[in-house]
Amino acid sequence: MKPTLALVAHDAKKDAIAAFAERNAQKLSDFSIVATGTTGGRIMDACPALDVTRVRSGPLGGDQQIGAMIAEGRLNGLIFFIDPLTPMPHDVDVKALLRLAVLYDLPTALNVSTAEILLRSARLAGLQSTSKTPEVSLIQK
């Protein structure tokens, strides 16, 4: 089974993630990709051969769906091109998604240069274990 990588981008970063996907289409074909609605549409347009599953658009719950996948141990990595200059109606969802990525020690990239590094890491390719279960005391509460 292929490792699963989530791709998400805010509107100001959609061109950047489409270009990232096009540039790395070969490498991305090693992954099952899950993406928020609009981001996924842009990636599918840019790279029709990729295996992309779309969840809801971010502001309509997509960030939370990706967060749930992290909590369930179903993601191997997250690439999320955030827009640091624009207020978002779903800011709390963005924050919750990033919180879970940190909590579960999920390999995560928030900008293009880190995403390029992450995509080439042995850890992301599933050669080493990925996200860690958080402290037992956290789970039992």
Ligand X SMILES: O=C(CO)COP(=O)(O)O
Please report, as ranges, the residues that interact with ligand X according to CB under 6 A: 8, 10, 36-39, 57-59, 62-63, 90, 94
3-state secondary structure of 76: coil
Residue of 53, 63, 50, 56 whose CA lies nearest to 100:
63
Question: Is 40 labeled as ligand-binding?
Answer: no
Check if 105 is active-site.
no
| Separation of alpha carbons 116 and 97, rounded Å | 21
Residue 141 CB, nearest approach to ligand X (Å): 27
| Separation of alpha carbons 10 and 51, rounded Å | 21
Residue number, nearest CB to ligand X:
58
CB 12 within 8 A of CB 83: yes
Residue 115 CB, nearest approach to ligand X (Å): 15
The catalytically annotated residue of 11, 30, 45, 63 is 63
Question: Is 132 labeled as ligand-binding?
Answer: no
For residue 132, what is the DSSP state?
Answer: P
Question: Is 14 labeled as ligand-binding?
Answer: yes
Comparing CB distances to ligand X, the nearer of 97 and 124 is 97
Comparing CB distances to ligand X, the nearer of 79 and 94 is 94
Comparing CB distances to ligand X, the nearer of 82 and 125 is 82
Residue 116 CB, nearest approach to ligand X (Å): 20
**Catalytically active residues, by annotation:** 63
Q: Residues at the annotated binding site for substrate?
A: 10, 14, 36-39, 57-58, 90
